[in-house]
Amino acid sequence: MELEFGAQSDIGCVRKNNEDSYRAAAEMNLFVLSDGMGGLEAGEVASRLAVDTVLARCREAELNPSLPLVGKHVEGVSGASNQLASAIRSANEAIYRTAQQGAGQQGMGATIVAVWCTDERMSVAHVGDSRIYRLRGGELDQLTQDHSFVAEQVRQGKMTEQEASSSTMQNVLIRALGIDPTVEVDVSEELLMETDIVLLCSDGLTRELSDAQIAAVLGKCDGPQAAASRLVDLAKQAGGRDNVTVVVLRRAAKPVGAIARIGRWFKNSA
């Protein structure tokens, strides 16, 4: 299965560093995005280490599907999903070690979101408050649940969505990479259908734009790169208070041959 993607990362209008990183390994249908935190350069170091470690570990796993897992085996998901979660745990260890080694880098950490499509099955994994969305049939759904203080309050019914979106606690995470020696990774699987559009983004996008605005851009834009650029532009127009990074992907359109066309005609008339 072939995917096409577009991506853009921008420092925004206020910050002095871009602490976001992303990697798009289209040849293996793997897309990873991370938002770093920590003073000075620590955030950049952390997010770069996060995406590079995940990429390297998944490459290894692709060559050797029985690569031993870091951490526990998750029941009810594929080998690839388990390898993706394992790669993220490995990234956690890498950042944690780096943070412990350099005194100035303590407090460094990162979020991560990743998708890996091995077939129509898309493995989805994350830690932190970067997000993955899917547009299907005009409906935008968030496939990840933020590991943030306010999101947890909403889940427990202690806060409404509205209170959460105006809370000053929005920036407080309850899970991130590099903070503790081990981390719990959320992993799930989704179908990737021909008409689906998937978005990975840092919170610099979702703090500036509503779901409706995001859905409108993804639904209207001419291709993943145009959508990625448009989203970043809009986030900056809305204030660009944080770094903003997006990766947009979808299945590449198959050339439609005569037989496929007849097949489609049959299907539509059925």
Give contact residues for other proteins (rule: CB under 8 A): 35, 37, 39-40, 75-77, 81, 103-104, 106-107, 109, 111, 119-121, 129, 136-137, 139, 141, 145, 149, 152, 156, 168-174, 176, 179-180, 186-191, 193, 203, 207, 241-242, 266-267, 270
Q: Which is nearer to other proteins, 24 or 37 (CB)?
A: 37
Smallest gap, in angstroms, from Cβ of residue 37 to other proteins? 4
Closest by CA position to 110, among listed 132, 125, 124, 95: 95
Smallest gap, in angstroms, from Cβ of residue 138 to other proteins? 8
Smallest gap, in angstroms, from Cβ of residue 70 to other proteins? 19
29 DSSP β-pair partners: none
Closest by CA position to 92, among listed 202, 186, 31, 181: 181
Q: Which is nearer to other proteins, 2 or 60 (CB)?
A: 2
As a whole number of angstroms, the distance between CA 33 and CA 220 comes to 24
> Do residues 126 and 185 touch, judged by C-beta distance below 8 A?
yes
Q: Which is nearer to other proteins, 56 or 189 (CB)?
A: 189
Query: Coil, helix or strand for 34?
Result: strand
As a whole number of angstroms, the distance between CA 233 and CA 230 comes to 5
Q: Which is nearer to other proteins, 24 or 125 (CB)?
A: 125
Smallest gap, in angstroms, from Cβ of residue 63 to other proteins? 23
Q: Which is nearer to other proteins, 77 or 199 (CB)?
A: 77
Residues 6+ apart with CB under 8 A from 246: 7, 8, 9, 199, 200, 201, 202, 205, 228, 231, 232
> Alpha helices of 64-169 — where are they, by DSSP H?
79-101, 149-155, 161-166
Q: Which is nearer to other proteins, 4 or 152 (CB)?
A: 152
What are 252's two structure tokens?
């590449």
Smallest gap, in angstroms, from Cβ of residue 258 to other proteins? 20
Smallest gap, in angstroms, from Cβ of residue 109 to other proteins? 6
